Structure 1
């Protein structure tokens, strides 16, 4: 009987059995994806070149995308609620993006010089994100590059070394700050060797204490996301961000606000919505129309250090101004205008409210703001619950991130959201007994 066994043993046995069944069904359904995965081991370590898209027992292999759908090599169609982790906010085949790229291709590429495209995109970015503190901008190939360059800029400007970062923060492949590991998890960041100082996210009192203990005149920058995308869609409070703005000023440090994901949540970015001005704002994901891009910008006196006629601060990058990203970005910023920002945020808030009514008890809950949502689990077995939830969604033809992340994109409809809610309800009903049992035991948020 369940009551005769220790609680944790019951839970572990239950999840192992349910996950084994889910894996078996998944393997039977996706033989071609399995073969593609196994064959790729000959040329890719673990058949993978991007860690976050791996899934046990193997990831699906997709052959095409169309609108809000993805088609696997096994011939199945999936409703895509992942939107390429925010970069695919325009869906998979917006004709306006496609036409912009075709026009760019018609004029050739790899100029090795400046073009009209980058000048136009820079104008649009500065006009859009000016209220968040961005007066001048420079483009990069990724959000990772934008953040690494922002940190280097802060160190140069201040002459100091220490960078304050926060638990569960993610600012790119070389700037990963996970929380304390949960059972079954393994994270091995390959971070840049800066002098990072760690504080708990969204905690004013403890962050104040961390800052108090720093050596005098040692802080170069505070690096923060106004909502932690990779960290589970945890929004910062206005109080917390205002505190960081004040502390940056008092320490003579730069406030770097990472809006690589968060900028989608406001017409001028989330910082502007929360009345926070960054010294340096970093951007990426959708501002290149779904193509490879990143950007950093901020106060004129800081950014003019990159003016080659005035300074020697060096910022190269062969594809910083590539015509594909520039042209697609020009079209994309017109498509994702203020009214579309509001529409998508409203759709996300309705979806989050609908989900919340279904997951009222721990260990299952939903976090987020606007069009960024994450269904999450607490406790030592959170990763197993998360995997089970992921496979449940795939069995119902819905593609999400393994970690439950679902940033809505422009091709997602209300009926698509309803399908997701119905699938969550089915998951809750299927595992109701165990979820109810767990609600009687204390678990911690991971």
Structure 2
């Protein structure tokens, strides 16, 4: 049996088991298709053959309509950092319920939350902040501010970047953009029609060539994630971030750091943390920064902030001729404002360190499982524990384990991670099938995660849960090591 045939057979078997164990989820999915396209209103939650329908959540578990309970290793893609029933978040929302909502006016708590956010992320360059309803909105307004501030149009983005539902940049699309957008695009999207310029993530040489070829005074902004969450927990090399900072300064563009997902990784966010992991200890600062996910305590939330002079464009007292408009009925909704204030207090520097340490425990366990499976020699463990992926428009994505290391090809299965953000990844032509097999395998072990293998830890995950997850990964690797080795 060929490797491809073996993988296809494993997919069929995984789906058959899933369908046997989740008949009520199938019924709901089928019925929902009469009211929503494909029975779905959020693309990322779909997984073949159909998604699990969740009935309820409590603490660190989710229970489906089929009566199956899972330990939640997805944490709502980082927004659910506090689990499903944190008493302080619940109390904050109850305060909003008992104090009225839909004010149509400014509240005391939004002003307190703004002070807490600017204090928390001052090291990254945040002096003033405004709230939105999502990370997508936050990036929309950050880009708009950059275009207005510079009077330019072009925005530099990077391969496999994701900045919200209207800013999606898979590698195939970026290559197509880089090659002049000739012929039919490789994928459909609803990206906003800005003048995006694509560059390969972490690739200094190719990015420099692309930037140097731009017309003078044309680049308005550079938009980058310090760790690409949707892209598979891919960290940016500190030297790459420093190059982007220097390039923005040299060209008069604004550096926008997307910390929607990664702000969980350090007491002041991932950008500030990146300033401490290479030889140059000078803090890297953003001109603008975007936020979302956990800061709203699990409620709908987004924010953008940054330099005082740039953010002052949104001062409504400036008058219509000078100000930038930033409306939004629920920007300052009292549920999010109350929950967010509690969230920042709960997730303090000590809690950040504890959660990242738990992520390191999970990473170490999975690394040992990969080596024990025989998929990797022990002397290659460094490839699994601290890698930087360097994309290329001219060749393949490669792994580097240090400044002077030789690149290696992406293994069939490997771990990408930083702190409490982890993603077991697959590569090659069968990568999509492997992600699906892995997802269904882990469901059968009582683990809920993203279908792409993303597992951001939440605060109510315990060491015993981490050890259970590692044991499940080891079982998966043992079950499929022959196919993964082929």
Do they fold alike, i.e. is TM over 0.5? yes
TM-score range, shorter chain: over 0.9
Q: Distance in 2 between matches of 1:409 and 1:225?
A: 21
Give the C-alpha shift of residue 143 in structure 1: 0.3
2:451 to 402, 405, 415: 402
Give the C-alpha shift of residue 83 in structure 1: 0.2
Q: Distance in 2 between matches of 1:180 and 1:354?
A: 33
**Structure 1 residue 329 corresponds to structure 2 residue 340:** yes
Who is 2:473 aligned against? 424
Q: Is the 8 A contact 1:134 1:281 kept in 2?
A: yes
5 Å-filtered alignment, 1:26-45, equals 26-45=18-37
Who is 1:135 aligned against? 127
Q: Is the 8 A contact 2:153 2:219 kept in 1?
A: yes
Who is 1:235 aligned against? 235
Who is 1:62 aligned against? 54
5 Å-filtered alignment, 1:170-249, equals 170-180=162-172, 187-249=187-249
Give the C-alpha shift of residue 237 in structure 1: 1.0
Please give the per-residue CA displacement for 1:112-138, whole angstroms capped at 9, x wherever unaligned.
110011001001001101111000000
**1:359 alignment partner, SS class:** helix
2:13 to 3, 13, 21: 21
Q: Is the 8 A contact 2:126 2:305 kept in 1?
A: yes
Q: Is the 8 A contact 1:129 1:268 kept in 2?
A: yes
Q: Is the 8 A contact 1:260 1:284 kept in 2?
A: yes
Q: Distance in 2 between matches of 1:179 and 1:11?
A: 25
Please give the per-residue CA displacement for 1:204-233, whole angstroms capped at 9, x wherever unaligned.
111100101101110000000000000000
Q: Distance in 2 between matches of 1:276 and 1:14?
A: 48
Q: Distance in 2 between matches of 1:154 and 1:337?
A: 31
Please give the per-residue CA displacement for 1:15-57, whole angstroms capped at 9, x wherever unaligned.
1111101101110101111101111011111000000000111
5 Å-filtered alignment, 1:134-153, equals 134-153=126-145
Who is 1:264 aligned against? 264
Give the C-alpha shift of residue 336 in structure 1: 0.6
5 Å-filtered alignment, 1:257-406, equals 257-274=257-274, 275-310=283-318, 311-360=322-371, 361=376, 362-406=411-455
Who is 2:118 aligned against? 126
Give the C-alpha shift of residue 312 in structure 1: 2.0
Give the C-alpha shift of residue 180 in structure 1: 2.5
Q: Distance in 2 between matches of 1:353 and 1:388?
A: 23
The alignment of Structure 1 onto Structure 2 pairs a total of residues equal to 426
**1:78 alignment partner, SS class:** strand
RMSD: 1.2
Give the C-alpha shift of residue 58 in structure 1: 0.5
Who is 1:254 aligned against? 254
Q: Is the 8 A contact 1:286 1:332 kept in 2?
A: yes
Please give the per-residue CA displacement for 1:58-87, whole angstroms capped at 9, x wherever unaligned.
101011100110000011100110000000
Q: Distance in 1 between matches of 2:69 and 2:94?
A: 27
List gaps (5 residues or longer) in structure 1.
3-9, 438-446
Normalising by the residue count of structure 2, what TM-score does the alignment of the two structures yield? 0.86
Give the C-alpha shift of residue 187 in structure 1: 4.5
List gaps (5 residues or longer) in structure 2.
176-185, 275-282, 377-410
Who is 2:74 aligned against? 82
Please give the per-residue CA displacement for 1:90-147, whole angstroms capped at 9, x wherever unaligned.
0011011001000111111001110011001001001101111000000000000000
Q: Distance in 1 between matches of 2:368 and 2:230?
A: 24
Give the C-alpha shift of residue 270 in structure 1: 1.0
Q: Is the 8 A contact 1:33 1:59 kept in 2?
A: yes
Q: Is the 8 A contact 1:359 1:366 kept in 2?
A: no
Q: Distance in 2 between matches of 1:130 and 1:397?
A: 40
Seen in structure 2, the aligned counterparts of structure 1 residues 187 and 62 have a Cα distance that, compared at 3 Å, is farther
**2:451 alignment partner, SS class:** coil
Q: Is the 8 A contact 2:361 2:466 kept in 1?
A: no
